[in-house]
Structure 1
């Protein structure tokens, strides 16, 4: 991705500090080298540091948070962005449930770290998928049924158009 497009992201326009570091031009003597400075690489470094392993180098071709990590809009959403039935055909019901548990665990870890490290993140739990026609509503109802089957402990609701106005109005501006 070129720098012009990258600079158009909300994250890039509002970040409070620069995540660019000098190009590595010398040999390093470290215990662990992590390739990639996205969510997984940074998380790995933090996990190691929390266990006392601090002689670490993260090698990133661009800058920390570059790529999908830096362009996700700051959203922490559990689940998977694919057709659940197709995935279930490949991994089975138990496999799909495991995928959702891992996804929920990941979102929980991020919430815990925001608290633990007092990260100024304006974190707000909750997100929504919107449909604007009958076909999309049918798809959402099907997805809701599948989601509840594999992730019964998650709070999830389906709202009609008028209900959305009430919920959003209550959160932002009271609906009269």
Structure 2
């Protein structure tokens, strides 16, 4: 397997210095082997190490190389989409607990950053954007529900005639401002968490792609130059599982998502575009999300692709989408363009559990583009389950069934693309 450098993103260009972790060579014995050096793996390793377990973490490329180090950087409350759909599986109280964990997930990130003093440009403030008046009406229901769950952060409905106070665009029918969600530099968060993990005794290995797994009472995880023996295994690869476990691979679909970053904007223009410096996300299937970086670049992303083929020119593909929102940026230069794979599940709920036939093999995947907080929640739940500290959250997620995408490896992406096209057609009605 060819080891790749980080994507040529704004994040890579502005990241803190990255330690050069060793390649696994020879044999290592630990309590838990974690595969994947993104947020899922890093936070699971931290949770386990904080509980006194020995951990080895294997990353095929560099820490934060996948979606964790190149995503939109939006830290938004909630896990899953329309979790009421799972009432038949987990009951009314189970649905309520999922919603509460969606709020807790942001607090886990907040507390980790504060506890370990991780410098990652954390900024509070997020706004849901309504494309249609009906969506804005739904925001009022969201506020009522959040208050009922005990959410104490500032929430404010912003009608269409007041949207200039949060965004300089006439595109939207209203918004929901949430000061308990926000945005950050994801790669710097991942690098900071890797340093935390190592300081807690986690053995971090880069350039150590897993080539083969041997399940059993003792799990053996093989790389080209070494092997890890462990009592338990965590697979935290998400969209980059690459058939390592065929059962899990069939339940997560890799999909491409893309981001552009402008040149630094003047302080006046940045203030004009997003007066409150909030992260933004609309409600369409082909979602637009955007925010300002710490050095006042506009980071604009979206355009989820299921074909497996990236646009030939991401900048040329994404810039017109940005200009539909901010026409005033037509003469602004695009300095960075990049993409990456996110993991999509059929029911858009994170998949957290253990293999039925191998109860010492745990996994978390399929965050469906909302992984920054959900990965940290998954790490906590996995840490609790593996260490024997059962809070109920892990069992709740594990109760929910997840279907295997139809069509096999080669047809599942085209079939899903057709389904998503149908949803986009509905938006036009």
Offset, 1:79: 0.3
Q: Which has the higher contact order (CA 8 A, sep 6+)?
A: 2
Residue 18 of structure 1 corresponds to which residue in structure 2?
Answer: 18
Counterpart for residue 151 of structure 2: 153
Q: How does 1:107-118 map to 2 (within 5 A)?
A: 107-118=106-117
Q: What is the correspondence of 1:76-87 to structure 2 with a 5 Å cutoff?
A: 76-87=75-86
Residue in structure 2 matched with residue 33 of structure 1 by the alignment? 33
Deviates more, 1:131-140 or 1:111-120: 131-140
Q: Partner residue of 2:249? A: none
The change in CA–CA distance for 1:140 and 1:153 in structure 2 (over 3 A counts) is: closer
Conserved 8 A contact 2:78-2:105 = no
The structure-2 alpha-carbon separation of the partners of 1:67 and 1:88, relative to structure 1 and needing over 3 Å to count, comes to farther
Residue deviations 1:28-62, cap 9 Å, x none? Answer: 23343212222222112222333344x42101223
Q: Report if aligned partners of 2:30, 2:55 keep a CA contact under 8 Å in 1.
A: yes
Residue 101 of structure 1 aligns with which residue?
A: 100
TM-score (norm 2): 0.34
Q: Could you say if the C-alpha distance between residues 10 and 89 of structure 1 is closer, same or farther in structure 2, counting changes exceeding 3 Å?
A: farther
Change (3 A) 1:88 1:8: farther
Q: Residues 113 and 131 (structure 1 numbering): CA distance in 2 closer, same or farther, change over 3 Å?
A: same
1:63-74 matched pairs, under 5 angstroms: 63-74=62-73
Per-residue deviation, 1:99:
1.0
Q: 1:41 to 1:89 in 2, by over 3 A?
A: same
Q: State the secondary structure of the residue aligned to 1:152.
A: coil
SS at match of 2:33: strand
Query: Does the residue aligned with 2:75 lie in a helix, a strand or coil?
Result: coil
For 1:87 and 1:32, how far apart are their aligned partners in 2?
31
Aligned equivalents of 2:123, 2:11: Cα separation in 1: 17
Partner of 1:62: 61
Segments of structure 2 that go 5 or more residues without pairing to the other structure are 168-271, 278-429
Number of equivalent positions: 168
Rounded to whole Å, the distance in 2 between the matches of 1:78 and 1:115 is 18
Q: Which runs of 5+ in 1 are unaligned?
A: none
Question: Mean Cα displacement is larger for which, 59-68 or 123-132?
Answer: 59-68
Report the TM-score when normalising by structure 1: 0.74
The alpha-carbon deviation at position 130 of structure 1 amounts to 0.4
2:48 corresponds to: 48
Query: Which structure is higher in helix share?
Result: 1
Give yes or no for contact 2:76–2:126 (8 Å, CA) kept in 1: yes
Corresponding residue of 1:171:
276
User: How far apart, in 2, do the equivalents of 1:20 and 1:161 lie?
Assistant: 49
* Cα shift at 1:167: 4.9
Alpha-carbon distance between aligned partners in 2 of 1:108 and 1:115, rounded to the nearest angstrom:
10
Q: Which residue of 1 aligns with 2:126?
A: 127
CA RMSD of aligned residues (A): 3.1
